[in-house]
Amino acid sequence: MTDTMLKVADGMVVSLDYTLCLDDGQVIDSSNGREALQFLQGQGQIIPGLEQALYGMEVGEEKEVEVAPGDGYGETDPDAYQMVPHDVFPPDMELSEGMGLRMRDEAGQPLEAYVADVSPEGVLLDFNHPLAGETLYFHVKIADLRPGTSEELDHGHVHN
């Protein structure tokens, strides 16, 4: 069996070349100039809408994939904003709109937040994923496919 006869299916290690754009055509991410993204199909390691669209593709095959927010990073949650006082941050820290922050919740779990606004009242943090609410446009090409090893399937991820 040659690689060109393999198709994307659960348990396959997929090497994916991709370019991700938003509605306005702005390129958000791309594998151009670096190694293809590798993941184990069917393990939820990439967003659901993209994973679903890859089933049945073969090595060398390309396609355009549109992923709605609900199948990508979700809709924007208006309850995922929180105003925090300035004194929560180090005094020498310069905060700016759009700035990403790594924080911990009360239980010590890591969180990512983005500065939505800095005002005299405090800092408005947005805990939504930066691509929440966005329709995502992918150009994808299957660079390589192979069956996952028994160890990869047991562990649920690709081993390099």
| Non-local CB neighbours of 10 within 8 Å, separated by 6+ positions | 41, 42
Question: Residue 156: pLDDT band by 50, 70, 90 thresholds?
Answer: confident
- Eight-state DSSP code of residue 58: B
CA torsion through residues 145, 149, 150, 153, sign:
negative
Which pLDDT value is given to residue 160?
75
> pLDDT over 90 for what percent of the chain?
85
Which pLDDT value is given to residue 36?
95
Longest dimension (CA), the chain: 66
> What pLDDT, in 10s, does the model give residues 50-73?
999 999 999 999 999 999 999 999
- Is pLDDT at 15 greater than 90 in this prediction? yes
Question: Residue 115: pLDDT band by 50, 70, 90 thresholds?
Answer: very high
Domain boundaries, the chain: 3-73+131-155, 78-126
- List helix spans (H) across the chain: 48-54, 150-155
- Is pLDDT at 2 greater than 60 in this prediction? no
In contact, 4 and 142? CB cutoff 8 Å: no
Burial class (CB within 10 angstroms; exposed 0-12, middle 13-18, buried 19+) of 118? middle
> pLDDT over 70 for what percent of the chain?
98
- Is pLDDT at 1 greater than 60 in this prediction? no
Give the rounded distance of the alpha carbon of 90 from its chain centre.
30
Give the rounded distance of the alpha carbon of 54 from its chain centre.
16
- Eight-state DSSP code of residue 4: G
pTM of the predicted model as reported, rounded to 2 decimal places: 0.82
- Eight-state DSSP code of residue 75: -
Which pLDDT value is given to residue 3?
46
CATH T-level assignment (fold) for domain 78-126:
Thrombin, subunit H (2.40.10)
Question: Residue 157: pLDDT band by 50, 70, 90 thresholds?
Answer: confident
Which pLDDT value is given to residue 99?
93
Which pLDDT value is given to residue 105?
82
147 bridge partner residues: 12
Q: Of 113, 117, 87, nearest to 100 (Cα)?
A: 113
* CATH 3.40.605.10 given to domain 3-73+131-155: no
